Structure 1
Amino acid sequence: MVALERAGIPVERYVAYEINKQSIAVSKKHYPNIEHKGDVNGADFSEYIGFDLLIGGSPCQDLSGLNTVYRKDYETGLKGKKSRLFYAYVDALQTVNPKFFLFENVASMKAEWRDAITAELGVEPIMINSALVSAQERKRLYWTNIPKVTQPADRGIVLEDIILHADTIPEKYWYRDRKYTIHGEDDRVIATLDEGHLFSENKRVFNLKHKCGTLCGDGAGGNLQKKVFQNGAVRKLTPVEYERLQTLPDNYTEGVADSHRYTAIGNGWTVDVIAHILGGLHDV
Structure 2
Amino acid sequence: MKAEKLDIHVRLEPFEVELLKESAKSNNQTIQDFIHESALLNLKNTAVRNKDKYSFIDLFSGIGGMRLGFEDAECQCIYSGEWNKFSRKTYLRNFGEFPHGDITKVDASTIPNHDILVAGFPCQPFSIAGISKKNSLGRASGFEDKTQGTLFYDVCRVIKEKRPKAFLLENVKNLRSHDKGRTFQIIYEALTELDYEVFYQIIDGQMFVPQHRERIFIVGFDKQRYGTVNFDFNLNPPEHTPVLSDILESNVDEKYTLSSKLWDYLQNYAKKHREAGNGFGYGLANPDGISRTLSARYYKDGAEILIAQEGKNPRRLTPRECARLQGFPDSFEIPVSDNQAYRQFGNSVVVPLISDIARLITQKLDRLENDPEQ
Quote how far apart the aligned CAs of 1:53 are: 1.4
How does the TM-score come out when normalised to structure 1? Answer: 0.78
Residue 131 (structure 1) aligned to one of 200, 203, 206: 206
List aligned pairs for 1:231-250, cutoff 5 A: 231=310, 233-250=313-330
Relative contact order, CA 8 A, sep 6+: which one is greater? 1
Aligned counterparts, 1:106-117, within 5 A: 106-109=172-175, 110=177, 111-117=181-187
- How far 1:262 sits from its partner (Å)? 1.0
The 3 A distance-change label for structure 1 pair 138 and 208 is same
How much identity, in percent, do the aligned residues show?
Answer: 25
* CA apart distance, 1:22: 1.6
Structure 2 gap ranges (5+):
1-66, 127-145, 193-197, 222-230, 274-279, 367-374
Give the drift of 1:251: 5.8
Q: Name the one with the larger helix percent.
A: 2
State the one-letter code of the partner of 2:73: A
Out of 281, 284, 298, the residue aligned to residue 220 of structure 1 is 298
The 1:16/1:153 distance shift into structure 2, 3 A limit, reads: same
CA drift at 1:20? 1.3
* Structure 1 moving runs of 4+ over 4 Å: 78-81, 178-181, 195-199
Tell me: CA distance 1:40–1:179, structure 2 relative to 1, closer, same or farther (3 Å): closer
Question: Does structure 1 residue 22 correspond to structure 2 residue 101?
Answer: no
User: What root-mean-square deviation, in Å, do the aligned CA atoms of Structure 1 and Structure 2 show?
Assistant: 3.1
* Counterpart-to-counterpart distance in 2, 1:95 and 1:88: 11
Q: Is the 8 A contact 1:15 1:35 kept in 2?
A: no
Shift of 1:259: 0.8
Query: CA offsets per residue over residues 207-238 of structure 1, 9 Å max, x none?
Result: 22221111112x33113553222335411000
Q: Which residue of 2 aligns with 1:31?
A: 95
Q: 1:120-159, aligned counterparts within 5 Å?
A: 120-122=190-192, 123-145=198-220, 147-153=231-237, 155-159=240-244
Q: Using a 3 Å threshold, how does the CA distance of structure 1 residues 180 and 28 change in structure 2: closer, same or farther?
A: closer
Q: Secondary structure at the match of 1:143?
A: strand
**SS of corresponding position for 2:342:** helix
Post-superposition offset of 1:61 = 6.9
Tell me by how many angstroms 1:62 deviates: 5.9
- Report matched runs for 1:256-275 at 5 Å: 256-275=336-355
1:87 maps to: 153
- Report the 3-state secondary structure (helix = DSSP H, G, I; strand = E; otherwise coil) of the residue aligned with 1:14: strand
Task: Evaluate the alpha carbon distance shift between residue 116 and residue 196 of structure 1 in structure 2; reply closer, same or farther with a 3 A threshold.
Answer: closer
Equivalent pair of 2:208/2:237 in contact (CA under 8 Å)? yes
1:97 aligns with 2:163: yes
Note closer, same or farther for the CA distance 1:148–1:24 as it changes in structure 2 (3 Å cut): same
Q: How far 1:180 sits from its partner (Å)? A: 5.9
CA contact (8 A) 1:118 1:143 kept: no
Give the equivalent residue in structure 1 for 2:33. Answer: none
2:104 is aligned with what amino acid?
Answer: N
Question: How many equivalent pairs are there?
Answer: 252
Alpha-carbon distance in 2 for matches of 1:176, 1:57? 35
Shift of 1:257: 0.5
Structure 1 portions without partners, runs of 5+: 64-77, 182-190
* Deviation string, structure 1 residues 38-87 (Cα, Å, up to 9, x no partner): 01113211123621111101123769xxxxxxxxxxxxxx9798xx2122
Q: In the superposition, relative to structure 1, how do residues 17 and 53 fare at CA in structure 2: closer, same or farther (>3 Å)?
A: same
CA distance in 1, matches of 2:263, 2:249: 22
Matches of 2:123 and 2:302, distance apart in 1 = 16
Residues 237-282 of structure 1: CA distance to partner in whole angstroms, max 9, x if unpaired?
0001100111001262421111111111111111111110111203
Farther-moved stretch of structure 1 (129-138 vs 220-229)? 220-229
Rg larger for: 2
Change (3 A) 1:79 1:282: closer
- Corresponding residue SS for 2:336: coil
Asked if structure 2 preserves the Cα contact closer than 8 Å seen for 1:128 and 1:140, the reply is yes
